[in-house]
Amino acid sequence: MTARIIDGKTIAADLRGKITDAVHRLRRDRGIVPGLAVVLVGGNAASEVYVRNKSKAVAEAGMHPLDLHLPDSVSAAELLQQIARLNADPAVNGILVQLPLPAHIDARKVIATVDPAKDVDGFHPLNVGRLASGLPGLVPCTPMGCVMLAQAVHPVLAGLEAVVIGRSNIVGKPVAQLLLAENATVTIAHSKTQDLPSVCRRADLLIAAIGRPEMVRGDWIKPGATVIDVGINRIPREGGKSRIVGDVAYAEAAKVAGAITPVPGGVGPMTIACLLLNTLRAACAQNGLPVPVS
Ligand code: NAP
């Protein structure tokens, strides 16, 4: 069997097109331009690239990007003050604080300071609780993208046996909650799980969010299963260069799976598209309008 490739780039581009159209209508009919503030603290090179890409995507969707770059030395009090200012600014509909933060700043406190209505990362405890309780709220972007990719193969996820490897607050736990909300039967595996290959072989839908290059092997996969690879791992290549691989051994897995996301070009593009969707959703909710893209 050769797996169908789930083309995250195309699915994300389609979603971004719908969001751009909706933003255009919002501006034309209501004079509203959704604004996203991205807060970056310090000079982490990878974070700078992420932030640049996010701001570019925001502008391409016709939204208003607002980058706030603070020095490594910024105090926790000053950062919290800046977030309070963004919370109060009606032109800012979404606030994203790029993680990781410098060690002297408590990320949990920062996340809890963001207005839950503007929490486009979906990390605020109130939004986490809403997701766990099945209430509407802002949902983390990468997990939302994973579920959309799974739905590209299985429009109905109800009854599927889903295994999520990883239990982080950013990916593993929220993706499991979303799958549960779709009535999948969900197992969350982690570093203490016994006989992980056997657990994975049960899965009709396998989501790998581990951060270990190519850990999931071909013989861990049930023939015909759908595999969503969240991992982004940079590994060295000959000549001092490097390349990006996922958490799944792609070449092996693609011979067994029914469908699989590539890395890069799978989950990554969906994360940005879902960030735009959350910003649009937040702007509509703050203006008492229905969400124009579902
Ligand atoms: P994380 O916070 O480090 O969590 C990793 C999870 O994997 C933990 O729950 C850990 O278990 C589990 N794990 C680690 N080693 C394991 C093993 N040997 N067997 C079973 N489980 C194991 O990572 P994350 O933030 O969730 O990110 C996961 C991956 O997704 C990373 O590669 C990251 O770069 C990528 N990512 C991609 C995107 C995107 O947009 N595509 C977004 C976010 C993250 P314990 O809890 O027991 O330690």
pLDDT by residue (tens digit) across 203-246?
999 999 999 999 999 999 999 999 999 999 999 998 889 999 99
User: Does the annotation mark 118 as catalytic?
Assistant: no
Examine the residue annotation and report whether 89 is marked as an active-site residue of this protein. no
* Cα separation values, 183 from 167, 219, 234, 274, Å: 19, 27, 34, 21
Residue 145 · residue 4 · CB < 8 Å: no
Distance of CA 77 to the CA centre of its chain: 28
Given pLDDT bands bounded at 50, 70 and 90, which one contains residue 291? Answer: confident
Which residues have CB under 6 Å of ligand 1?
Answer: 142, 165-168, 170-172, 189-193, 196, 209-212, 230-233, 267-268, 271
Question: Predicted confidence band at 292 (pLDDT cuts at 50, 70, 90)?
Answer: confident
pLDDT at residue 40 greater than cutoff 80: yes
**Which ligand 1 atom is at minimum distance from the Cα of 145?**
40
Ligand 1 midpoint to CA 13 (Å): 26
Query: Which ligand 1 atom is nearest residue 270's CA?
Result: 40
Best of 96, 168, 215 for a ligand 1 pocket test (most atoms within 8 Å of beta carbon): 168
CA of 276 from ligand 1 middle (Å) equals: 23
Check if 9 is active-site: no
35-56: average pLDDT = 93
What's the gap in Å between 211 CA and the centre of ligand 1?
A: 4
Residue nearest to atom 16 of ligand 1 (CA): 191
Q: Binning pLDDT at 50, 70 and 90, where does residue 46 land? A: confident
Q: What percent of the chain stands above pLDDT 90?
A: 95
Q: Within 13 Å and on the Cβ side, how many CA atoms surround 214?
A: 12
For residue 44, the model assigns a pLDDT of 87
Pocket test for ligand 1, best of 96, 99, 230 (most atoms within 8 A of CB): 230
With beta carbons less than 8 A apart as the criterion, state whether 118 and 86 touch: yes
What average pLDDT does the structure give for the chain? 97
